[in-house]
Amino acid sequence: MPWSARSLGLIVPCLAGCMEMSPFQVDLPAHHRDKTAENLARLGQRPPPALPWRFAVVTDNHQAYDELASVVDELNARDDLELVLHGGDLSDVGLKAELVWSLDELERLRVPWFTVVGNHDALSNGKQLYASMFGPEDYAFEHGSVRFVCFNSNEHEYSGTPRLTWLADAVRGSSTQSTVALTHVPPDALAKSYEQTLVENRVALALSGHFGGFELRQNGGTSFVRVDAVMSERWAEVTVGLGGSLALAACERSGCAPLGGGP
Amino acid sequence: MIRRAAAGLGLLAVLLWPGTVAGESCPDRADPLGWAAPDFVKAQSGGYLGLATLGVGYATKNDLLAGTAYYGWVPRQVAGIEIHSFAVTLTARGRLCLDSRWEWIVAYGGVGSVFTRGEGFFIESPSPYPDDYYQPTARRYLVLVGSEVLLKPTTAPAWLSGHGPFFEVVFLDKYLSAWWKNDRIALRETLSLALGYKLRM
C-alpha cells in the first residue's frame, strides 16, 4: 500500500472520530444511547430459563478497562448465565470517553446486561451523560422467577435519592418468587437508608458495590451483599434455584467459592 | 508497556523538537506595541476546549514561546448543560519562513490547563466528602502539538502582521492516564483535534 494511502487510512477515521469538541459531550450516536431499554428488549427475546440459572454481578471498574475486559471474557466463556448486572462506577470522573470505554466492554457480553449509576458516574456532567447512554436511573424488570429492582442510591450526588416511595412500589406486590435489588451505595453508608424498605418488603437479596471487598450481612429475610470491585478482577454470581432460592458465590478467574452459605 | 513507552517518547520528541528549529530561517519579528497589546488572537473549535473557543495571547523570544488564554463554550444541546471553560496554554514553537509572505510554524508543542465551571465541577470534593475524596473535575491538564501557516498580507491594517489556519492535536490528562493503564485503549482514543484561525498582530 502506498504511503499516502496508509496515511489516509489513519487520518480519515481520526478526522471523523477525533473532533471531540469537549470531554463533556452527551450528544451520543444512536448506538451508544438507551442501553437499558435495548437490553430489556434482548432479555424479553430470551426463553424462560430452566432452573437452576445464574446471573453475574460486576461493579466499580472506574478506569480498569483491561480488568473489566478480562472479566467479560470469563463471563462470555460460560453458557449458564442469563444476564449480567453492573453495580456502577463505570467511570472515574464521568467523562464521555470513560463511559464509552466501559460500554465497549459491556457490549461484548453475550447475554443482556444492566447497570446502575455510581457516584463517580455523576461527576462532571456525568448525570446527563449516564441518562443519555443508559436511560432511567430507577427501573425494574422480571426474568424467570426473579424480579430485579435497580435504583440510584447516590444521595450526595442526586438530591432526593434513594426514592423510597418508588422503591417500595417497585419491590411490593411482585408475582415473582424472589426479588433482587441492585444499587451502588450500601445502605449502611447512607443517611437516608433504604434497608428497612427492602427488609419490610421481603426483598431476598440487596446487591451493592462502592467500597470494594465482599461482605454478606443478614437483616430479617434480606441478605445485603457488597460485591468486590472488578478492578481486582472479582465478581459475584447468583444461582437461582427451586422456589426462587438464591445461592451466592464470590468469583475470580481461578474459580468461584460460596459466599457465606448464601441467603 | 513498550508500546506505551515508545508512544510517550515520540510525543515528548514532538514536544521538544520545535525549540531545535526555532528561528532558523526567519528574520526577527518586530513587536512595536510590546506588552501593551496581545500578539495574537485565535478562534478554534475542538481540542477539548469547546465548540466555540476564543483565545488571546503573547509571544516572546522571537515567537519561540507563546502563552494563550482561552474561553470555550459548549451549548446545552451538546453537553446537556451549558459548559463554560477557561484555559491557559504555554507552547514552544519552531518557525520556518518559506518566502517573504508565507511563514510556516512547522510544529509547536506545549502544555495547558482547562478550568470548567458548573454543577458537578469542583476542585475540592463537595461536602460531606473529604477534600481529596474525588479528583478535581473542574481542572484538567492538556498536552498539545500543532502546526500553523501564516500569510503576511500585502494590503492590511498596520496592526495585522499575519493570519492563517492552524490545527492542534490535544491530549487530556484523564484519558492519557487511562491509556497508560489499559492496553486496550489506543493513543488516538485519547486525543481531540482542534481546527482554528489565527490573527497575528
Could you tell me the three cell numbers for A112?
443482556
Candidates B170, B193, B195, partner chain A, best to mutate (most A CBs within 10 A)? B193
Q: Give me the number of domains chain A comprises.
A: 1
Whether chain B has a CB inside 8 Å of the CB on A70: the answer is no
**What's the CA gap between B162 and B199, in Å, rounded?**
6
Within a domain: A13? no
State the CATH architecture for B2-122+137-200: Beta Barrel (2.40)
Q: What are the sequence ranges of the domains in chain B?
A: 2-122+137-200
Within a domain: A208? yes
Within a domain: A143? yes
Spatial contact of B162 and A78, defined as CB atoms under 8 Å apart: no
**What's the CA gap between B105 and A259, in Å, rounded?**
63
Within a domain: A21? no
**What's the CA gap between A82 and B65, in Å, rounded?**
59
**What's the CA gap between B49 and B111, in Å, rounded?**
13
Position B153 scores a pLDDT of: 82
* Cβ contact A123–B137 (<8 Å): yes
Spatial contact of B139 and B113, defined as CB atoms under 8 Å apart: yes
- Centre a 10 Å sphere on the Cβ of residue A249 and count the other Cβ atoms it contains: 18
Each residue of B33-89: pLDDT tens digit? Answer: 777 789 899 999 999 999 899 999 998 877 788 999 999 998 888 888 888 999 999
Spatial contact of B174 and A95, defined as CB atoms under 8 Å apart: yes
Whether chain A has a CB inside 8 Å of the CB on B60: the answer is no
**What's the CA gap between A256 and B65, in Å, rounded?**
59
**What's the CA gap between A153 and A119, in Å, rounded?**
9
Within a domain: A165? yes
Within a domain: A77? yes
**What's the CA gap between A259 and A242, in Å, rounded?**
19
CATH number at residue A232: 3.60.21.10
Within a domain: A19? no
Q: Does A73 or B17 have the greater pLDDT score?
A: A73
Phi, psi angle pair for A236, to nearest 5°: -115, 155
Range name among A2-11, A19-28, A179-188, B187-196 with the lowest pLDDT average: A2-11
Spatial contact of A57 and A219, defined as CB atoms under 8 Å apart: no
Spatial contact of B14 and B170, defined as CB atoms under 8 Å apart: no
* Cβ contact B120–A125 (<8 Å): yes
Within a domain: A102? yes
pTM of the model: 0.88
Whether chain B has a CB inside 8 Å of the CB on A107: the answer is no
* Cβ contact B48–A20 (<8 Å): yes
- Domain residue limits at A218: 29-258
Asked if this assembly's ipTM is beyond 0.95, the reply is: no
Residues of A in Cβ contact (< 8 Å) with B183: 66
Each residue of B87-132: pLDDT tens digit? Answer: 999 998 776 666 777 888 888 899 999 999 888 899 999 988 988 8
B63: left (phi over 0), alpha (psi -120 to 50) or beta: left
